[in-house]
Structure formats: structure tokens, C-alpha cells
Amino acid sequence: MWPTPQRPAFGRFVYDQVQALRQIEDVSVDVFSFPAGSAGAYARATADARRKFKGETFDVVHAHFGLACWPALRIEARLHAVTLHGTDLEHPRSRALTLAALRRFEIVGVASADLGRRVPKWALKRGRQTEVLPCGVDLKRFQPFPRAEARAALRLKPDGRYLLFPADPARGEKRFDLATLLARTVKAELLSLGNVAPEQVPLYVNAANAVVITSDREGFGLACLEALACDVAVLSTPHGIAPEALVGLDGCLCEPFSLSSWRLAAETQLVAEDPVIAGRERAARYSASAMAERVLASWKAGLDG
């Protein structure tokens, strides 16, 4: 899970966490990334990791995504950690290979408490439990920006009615069909991030009247926090971080998809002259820097234990 020139948005949240960790005094981070997507790729990565780091011993080796556990275990360290992100526990083969590795890890992190409930206790070292170690939102990239300027930059209508689906429509679990139904019902244009460069994503968020997250499941749900960081309203199904992040926030909705209630919440934002919410302070609780500090604290506790 690491950005590449071909897929610059892939694993951007892991990149953000690495950058945040590197800002902490006395923390040095090396990155070993590799192309994924097939069993052969992971087998090659396992051999490459062992060869590249032969003779070295790190304080911590921290993998992201369950299948990356196997290359990580070939690198010597005082402590091995992993963060699970969701798909690694959903796809049957990925889940089996992920669970088979976890008992060898001192720290098993999950992107959200909801995801942690999908990890059986038998898969962990005796006496261990999962820790919530998300990557967090980059508050420097995602900031409130005048809606009119964001729309002008994207060549959108200044007085348009826009909802943002913050994912690739091709990902079935994100339920683009439900977002499309909602947009059609409220007569709004539905924007999406299927082929949007990472540096343009904050513009799309700020250009929207509201962000709609209709997913069947979320490991963490970073898009929710990115919208909040821009003071843009979020309508979300209750998965990942959304129930915790959206509770009590005026203008936001967190409940299973229902056209009647979601329509009302969307209309409220679409008819507002300049719809904004007080979301940034809430997003700051889950900033990349705050989550990096949480990861570091977990490492230290593991090493001291």
C-alpha cells in the first residue's frame, strides 16, 4: 500500500503516516514497498526483503495490509507490527493468509474498532488484543477552501448542486448505485474520484455541497475525515470511523442508507447558500500527526514490554 506513478492515490494514507512519523524527533523510518496484486508478487517481495535487509536488525518492522505480513517477517526486528485495513479480512484467501500470520506479530493494529471485531482472538498471540492504529488525515492537504474558487478551478457551475462520491465507482462495496440514486432523487450532479489526481481531491471536496459515503463496509473511512477537515458535510453509512467521527455534528448524517432520510439531509446542504459545518476540529482528533504519535506509543509499549 504505497503510491506509484501509475497509481498515485494508492496507499497515500500510509505515505502520510510515514511522513508524519519522520517529523517526530529521534524516529527514523525506512520504507520497503513492492508491487502487489498476485501471489508471485508477495513471494518475490519476501525474497527481496530477506536479501535487502540481511544482517540488519530494526527496532520495529511495521507492515501495512495483511498479506504484507509475510515479507515483513523476513526482516529481523525486536518487534513486528501490522496494520490491517479491511480488504485483507474480507477476501476469503487474503483473510486466511492474513490470520495465519498474526500470531507471529507482537502488535496487530486495525484501522478502526469496527474492523478489530473481525479479528478472532485465536489468531492473536496469547494475551494480546488488536489496537486501533489508523493512519489519519493530512490536515495540511485538506483545509477549508472557498467553494466558489474550488468550483472555478474545476470548471463547475458556481451555483450548481453537487454531491461527491469520494471513491472509485468501480469498487462495488462503495455502492455507487446508492449514491447515484440519491443524486438523481435530489436533482444534483454526482462527482466522483475514480480518476482524480491526489492533489486535486481537496478541490473536489471543497466544491461539493456534501460528501456521500454509501459503503457496505469501511476499514477506516478516511474520506469522512477529509471532508470534515474541509468543513464539508458528510452523509455516511455507519461503518469504520464514521459513527465516532460524526456523532453530534450538525449537518451530518450517519445511519444505514434510506432514501427518505438521506434525501432530507442532502437537500438541507443543497439549498444552503454556502453550506459549511464545524468539522475541522473533529477531524483534528484523527490527524496524521496524532495517529503517528499513537503508533509510536504502541511501538514503545511493545518494546518496553
Tens digit of each residue's pLDDT (9 = 90 or more) over 280-296: 999 999 999 999 999 99
Is residue 274 domain-shared with residue 291, that is, in the same domain? no
Nearest to 171 by CA among 192, 185, 191: 192
Count of structural domains within the chain: 2
**Integer Cα distance of 235 and 197 in angstroms:** 23
Is residue 247 domain-shared with residue 154, that is, in the same domain? yes
Is residue 280 domain-shared with residue 293, that is, in the same domain? no
Residue 1 lies in a domain: no
Q: Give tens-digit pLDDT for 61-106.
A: 999 999 999 999 999 999 999 999 988 998 899 999 999 999 999 9
The band of 4, judged by pLDDT with boundaries at 50, 70 and 90, is confident
What local confidence, expressed as pLDDT, does residue 89 receive? Answer: 92
Q: Give tens-digit pLDDT for 160-169.
A: 999 999 999 9
The band of 6, judged by pLDDT with boundaries at 50, 70 and 90, is confident
Retrieve residue 210's grid coordinates: 456534501
Residue 279 lies in a domain: yes
Residue 96: which CATH number?
Answer: 3.40.50.2000
Residue 3 lies in a domain: no
Ramachandran region, residue 26 (left: φ > 0; alpha: ψ -120 to 50; beta: rest): left
Is 80 exceeded by the pLDDT of residue 39? Answer: no
Is residue 278 domain-shared with residue 222, that is, in the same domain? yes
Structural domain harbouring 96: 12-136+287-304
What local confidence, expressed as pLDDT, does residue 252 receive? Answer: 97
Secondary structure string (H, E, C) spanning 151-208? HHHCCCCCCCCEEEECCCCCCHHHCHHHHHHHHHHCCCEEEECCCCCHHHHHHHHHHC
**Which pTM was predicted?**
0.88
Is 90 exceeded by the pLDDT of residue 198? Answer: no
Q: Give tens-digit pLDDT for 260-280.
A: 999 999 999 999 988 899 999
* Residue given cell 512519523 in the structure block: 21
User: What is the average pLDDT value for the chain, to the nearest integer?
Assistant: 94
Is residue 95 domain-shared with residue 157, that is, in the same domain? no
Residue 142 lies in a domain: no
Residue 216 lies in a domain: yes
φ, ψ for residue 55 (rounded to 5)?
Answer: 85, -5
Is residue 117 domain-shared with residue 154, that is, in the same domain? no
Is residue 274 domain-shared with residue 161, that is, in the same domain? yes
pLDDT over 90 for what percent of the chain? 86
Give the residue-averaged pLDDT of 147-171: 96
What local confidence, expressed as pLDDT, does residue 7 receive? Answer: 83
Retrieve residue 269's grid coordinates: 446542504
Nearest to 275 by CA among 255, 246, 251, 248: 251
Is residue 57 domain-shared with residue 107, that is, in the same domain? yes
Residue 141 lies in a domain: no
Is 90 exceeded by the pLDDT of residue 176? Answer: yes
Residue 220 lies in a domain: yes
What local confidence, expressed as pLDDT, does residue 153 receive? Answer: 97
Is residue 87 domain-shared with residue 183, that is, in the same domain? no
Is residue 217 domain-shared with residue 260, that is, in the same domain? yes
Residue 50 lies in a domain: yes
Is residue 204 domain-shared with residue 171, that is, in the same domain? yes
Is residue 19 domain-shared with residue 61, that is, in the same domain? yes
